[in-house]
């Protein structure tokens, strides 16, 4: 893929016009943690690479400070280990695979909110797997959106 060159301000100003919502096939490049991954999708004639946030759950962090019910909690070694397990499990489930998502817009940090409905051709609910395996808890966010960060490819 050849990358296209765009003015960064133009991309920022037009982020909301992208209106990333609905069903998309996504190729997953990497998993940052147990609820955030990077993938590309085809939208309005362009291939776009986004950070995406697994909708409906919050996984434990292995780097940053953990929060629960909006309150910061001490990031103990046990919580960091759970964060690593969550990232490893999400990686095992979706990394380097095609998934189908229902994109629900953007979150507070400009990531695509992704409800994963299929991995390859298998119907699967990744959010429920992460919660049922005690690697995440149900979470539906709060706050206002920031500008979307994305990359455009031919």
Residue 137 within a domain: yes
Q: What are the Cα distances from residue 93, in Å, to 8, 45, 71, 121?
A: 33, 28, 29, 13
| Domain CATH number, residue 55 | 2.40.50.90
Residue 2 within a domain: no
Rounded CA separation 46/41 (Å): 8
Average pLDDT (111-122) is 94
pLDDT (tens digit per residue) in 32-70: 999 999 999 988 888 889 999 999 998 988 775 655 555
Residue 77 within a domain: yes
2-6, 49-53, 77-81, 118-122, range with the lowest pLDDT: 2-6
CB count in 10 Å sphere of residue 76? 10
- In the chain, the number of structural domains is 1
Residue 39 within a domain: yes
Residue 79 within a domain: yes
Residue 105 within a domain: yes
What residue numbers bound the domain in which 140 lies?
Answer: 8-153
14-18, 98-102, 124-128, 139-143, range with the lowest pLDDT: 14-18
Nearest CA among 42, 50, 8, 34 for reference residue 150: 50
DSSP code of residue 141: -
119 in helix, strand or coil? strand
The strand pair at 66-68 and 57-59 is best described as unpaired
Residues 6+ apart with CB under 8 A from 122: none
Residues 6+ apart with CB under 8 A from 96: 28, 29
Residue 3 within a domain: no
pTM, to two decimals: 0.78
Mean pLDDT, the chain, integer: 80
Residues 6+ apart with CB under 8 A from 83: 33, 34, 59, 60, 61, 62, 63, 66
Residue 30 within a domain: yes
């Amino acid at each position: 893929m050849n990358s296209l060159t765009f003015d960064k301000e133009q991309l920022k100003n037009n982020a909301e016009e992208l209106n990333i919502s609905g069903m998309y096939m996504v190729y997953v490049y990497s998993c940052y943690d147990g609820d955030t991954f990077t993938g590309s999708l085809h939208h309005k004639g362009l291939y776009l690479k986004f950070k995406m946030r697994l909708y409906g759950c919050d996984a434990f962090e292995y780097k940053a400070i953990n929060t629960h019910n909006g309150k910061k909690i001490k990031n103990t070694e046990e919580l960091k280990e759970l964060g690593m397990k969550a990232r490893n499990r999400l990686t095992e489930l979706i990394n380097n695979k095609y998934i189908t998502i229902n994109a629900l817009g953007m979150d507070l940090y400009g990531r695509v909110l992704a409800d994963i409905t299929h991995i390859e051709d298998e119907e699967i609910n990744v959010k429920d797997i992460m919660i049922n395996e005690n690697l995440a808890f149900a979470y539906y966010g709060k706050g206002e959106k920031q500008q979307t960060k994305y990359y455009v490819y031919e």
